[in-house]
Chain A
Amino acid sequence: MSLFHHLFLPHHTNNQRAKILHPSVLSLIIFVFAVFQISLSQVSRTLPQILGFASQIPASEIVRLTNIQRSNHNLSALKLDAKLSAAAAQKASDMFAKNYWSHVSPSGTQPWFFITQSGYSYRFAGENLARDFSDPDSVVVAWMNSASHKDNLLNTRYEDIGVAVVDGQLEGRETTLVVQMFGTKLQNIPQVSEASTSLVAKALEPSPVPTILPTPTESPSLPVAAKISTPPAVSSPFEITKYLSVGLLTIFTLVLVADVVIINRKKISRWTSKSFAHLIFVVIVLIAISTILRGKII
C-alpha cells in the first residue's frame, strides 16, 4: 500500500508528488514504451503469424447478429448467399486496391457492379459498410443506431445476405473492412407491382439506400463469406498498442486528478509543474484517441 501511495499519490515519501510524475520515472516510462513499441513492430513484421493484424469479426457472426435483429422485429431471416458474399469480398478488395472508403469508387463504380459481376441477378440490393471495429456486436449495433443502415438490416424486401470481412491497408492504415450486401433475386419476384415500382425511384438515391435493377445472367456459386475472411492471427499489434496506450494515459489521468484534489484539499504548496494543465492536455488527447479507435460506418 505504501508503494501504491509512493507511486500514484502525493505522499511524504515522494515529496508530495506521485512518483510516476517525477521526471526520472516519466523518462523511464517513455523509454520502456518506445522500446516496447519498436519491438512490437519488429515482431509483427518478422513473425506475422504471431502478431499479424487480423480482425476478430467472423462474417458468419455478422449474418447471425443481423438475423437476430430481424427476428427481434418479427422479420424473416436472411439466407447467406455465396454470390453476394463474393460480391462483398470483391468490393472490399476494390476499396483496398483503389484506396477509398465510400459506396462509390473514385472511378464511379457502384456497389451494384460487384453484385452483378458475381452473377447475382437482383431485384433489390443494398450495401452497408463498416471499418475499424474490433468485434461483430459493435458493428451491428452501430448499423442499428444509424437510420439508413438500419433500414437495410430490417428491410422486408431482402431475402439474401452476403458478408465479407477483409483486413488490409487503407489510407495508410491497417484496417478491417466489413462489407454487408443484401439482395433479392430477380426470379423470386415474378411481377412488379405498382407499390414496388414506386420503390424504384427511391432506390436510385445513393447507398446505402437499396436500389433495384434487372440483370440478365447468373454464374456458378462462389465460396461463402467465412472462407473469404482472413483467418485471425493470435493477436494484433494494434490491439496491444490500443490497450497499453489507453491504459497508460488513463492511469496518468487518474493520478493527475488525485494530485489536484489531494494537494488542493491539504493546501500543500509545491514548486512543480501544474497538474491541472497536464490534466487538460492528457484528457483532451485521450478524447482524440477515442476518435482514432472508434469504428466508422457508411
Chain B
Amino acid sequence: MSDITFEKDFSRHPLHYFTLLVVQLIGLWGIFWFSYQQYMQFVIVVSMAVSYVVWGIIHHQEHKDLHPKIVAEYVLIAMLVVIVFGSLLFNT
C-alpha cells in the first residue's frame, strides 16, 4: 500500500491531475456547446463520470493501491453527480 500525502501524490503525478482536469474541461465545453440539447448534455456528463472513474482506477493502479473500496468511492461520487445533473435536466 502506498499511503502517501496529497502533496507528494500531486508532485509525483502532476500529469495525472492535469489529464483529469483537461478531460473534465472538455466535457464542460461540450455542455456549453450543446446548450438546450439536454440528452446530449446528459451523455456528456455520463462520459465525464466514466472518464473520472477510469482515471481513478488507472491512478491508483499506478500507485499499486487499487482496492474495491476505492473504486466504490469513485463510482459513488460519479453516480451522485450524474443523478443530480440528470434530475436538473429531466425532473422539471
CB contacts (< 8 Å) of B52 on chain A: these are: 277, 281
Question: Could you tell me which residues of chain A, from 163 to 185, have a CB within 8 Å of some CB in chain B?
Answer: 171-174
Question: Given the known A-B contacts A53-B92, A277-B56, are A23 and B36 also in contact in the complex, defined by CB atoms under 8 Å?
Answer: no
CB neighbours (8 Å) of A34 from chain B are: 83
A273 touches B81 (CB 8 A): no
Give 6 closest A-B pairs by Cβ, nearest first.
A273-B73, A174-B92, A26-B76, A238-B92, A269-B3, A284-B24
Least CB distance from B66 to A in Å reads: 10
- Give B1-44 interface residues, CB cut-off 8 Å to A: 1, 3-7, 9-10, 17, 20-21, 24-25, 27-28, 31-32, 35-39, 41
Interface of B, helix, strand, loop or mixed by DSSP: helix
Q: How far is the CB of A171 from chain B (nearest CB, A)?
A: 5
The reply to whether the CB of A264 lies closer than 8 angstroms to some CB of chain B is: yes
> Known: A277-B55, A284-B28, A288-B28. Contact between A26 and B85, CB under 8 A?
no
- A123 CB, nearest partner CB in chain B, Å: 35
Measured CB to CB, the nearest residue on chain B to A285 is B81
Give the chain B neighbours of A271 by CB distance below 8 A: 1, 3, 65, 67, 70
A263 contacts the other chain (CB 8 A): yes
**Could you say which interface size class chain B belongs to?**
35 or more
Given the known A-B contacts A26-B73, A34-B83, A271-B67, are A241 and B92 also in contact in the complex, defined by CB atoms under 8 Å? yes
Tell me the interface secondary structure of chain A in the complex. Answer: helix
- Whether A277 touches B85, Cβ cut-off 8 Å, given contacts A241-B91, A264-B5, A284-B48, is no
The residue that B17 contacts in the complex, of A41, A276, A289, with Cβ under 8 A, is A276
